[in-house]
Amino acid sequence: MYQIWKLMLLVSLLICHLLSKVPGTSSEPPKHFVLVHGSCHGAWSWYKVVPLLKSGGHNVTALDLGGSGVDPQQVNTLRSISDYIKPLREFMASLPNEEKVVLVGHSLGGLAISQAMEMFPEKISVAVFVTASMPGPILNVSILIQKALRDQDSQMDNHYTYNDGPSSPPTTFTFGPMFLSSKVYQLSPPEDSALASMLMRPIQLYSAEDMSREIVLSQKKYGSVNRVFIISEKDLVSKKDFVGWMIRENPPHEFEVVKGSDHMVMMSKPFQLSNLLLCLAKY
């Protein structure tokens, strides 16, 4: 099966290459894909997609957000969601003014790329939300998160800490191994779920007030960026009703569906996701 999908991806790349040689067309320069992970994960979660995109001659950067992956910061030092997103802002600021990237966010990473779209719209050719949180100018981030929380099922072995005391709201969250294998990675190879359970890092739980204050999106800036949403067909975290509501409230320019994938699209269907990202680089 691996070889079949690899062959399909190579055929897609060959078609793109041949089209670039058609008389009257010019060969496009390599694209730069910037990949942003979801909650409790890190840049490592893109390990299957990075080499597939690079095989097409493209540049790829997978980032660790604050306190994630191998980032040295500790979660309790990240006082606001802007502290969490800061590595992405710093990276975007470091890009040459003339460079445009394909900005991809997974799950909670959608909040990070949304803030980047507002701050650096001129540096983004297209923003891709991979079964990700997608606020907008008329869809406030706090409303989005509250809706997502209401639609949650049993937390199973997910872990919360209460650093402000047991009578206060929880302060950090970490996925548990059982929840990962049965809800997040249920269609992914078991070794990926096992890897994830070893690499989880807690994420700070920010208040709705903090997120609404730090992520303010405008039609002029955020709305000027091409935006695509990728739906994961068998996602048990971001479920069909929630995703449909989010798309209706904040319609993207385009949406695509990856069939047979779980919440970790890059793990369960890496070839299909990579092929989609290559196609979306047309923007």
Q: Which of 39, 45, 82, 107 is catalytic?
A: 107
CB 250 within 8 A of CB 139: yes
Q: 222 pLDDT exceeds 80?
A: yes
- Residue 24 has what pLDDT? 36
- Number of Cβ within 10 Å of residue 216's Cβ equals 14
Q: 156 pLDDT exceeds 90?
A: yes
To the question of pTM greater than 0.85 for the whole model, the response is yes
pLDDT, mean of residues 141-168: 91
Please classify residue 27 by burial: count the beta carbons closer than 10 Å to its beta carbon, then call 0-12 exposed, 13-18 middle and 19+ buried. Answer: exposed
CB 255 within 8 A of CB 243: no
Instruction: Mark whether 181 is an active-site residue.
Output: no
* Torsion 106-233-224-246 (CA) sign: negative
CB 252 within 8 A of CB 134: yes
Using a pLDDT cut of 70, give the percent of the chain over it. 90
Q: Which of 39, 263, 268, 274 is catalytic?
A: 263
Amino acid in position 275: N
- Residue 18 has what pLDDT? 42
Q: 40 pLDDT exceeds 90?
A: yes
Structure tokens at 38: 């979801």
Q: 127 pLDDT exceeds 60?
A: yes
Q: 273 pLDDT exceeds 70?
A: yes
- Residue 11 has what pLDDT? 52
Q: Nearest Cα to 90, choosing from 120, 118, 126, 114? A: 120
**Is 108 strand, coil or helix?**
coil
Instruction: Mark whether 241 is an active-site residue.
Output: no
Note the pLDDT tens digit of each residue in 41-77: 999 999 999 999 999 999 999 999 999 999 999 999 9
Give the span between the Cα atoms of 189 and 120, in whole angstroms: 36
Note the pLDDT tens digit of each residue in 5-25: 455 545 554 544 444 333 333
Computed on alpha carbons and rounded to an integer, the radius of gyration of the chain in Å comes to: 18
Mean pLDDT, the chain, integer: 92
Q: Which of 192, 235, 261, 274 is catalytic?
A: 235
Instruction: Mark whether 107 is an active-site residue.
Output: yes
Residues making up the chain, counted from first to last: 283
Domains, in order of start, for the chain: 31-280 (3.40.50.1820)
Q: Residue 26: pLDDT band by 50, 70, 90 thresholds?
A: very low
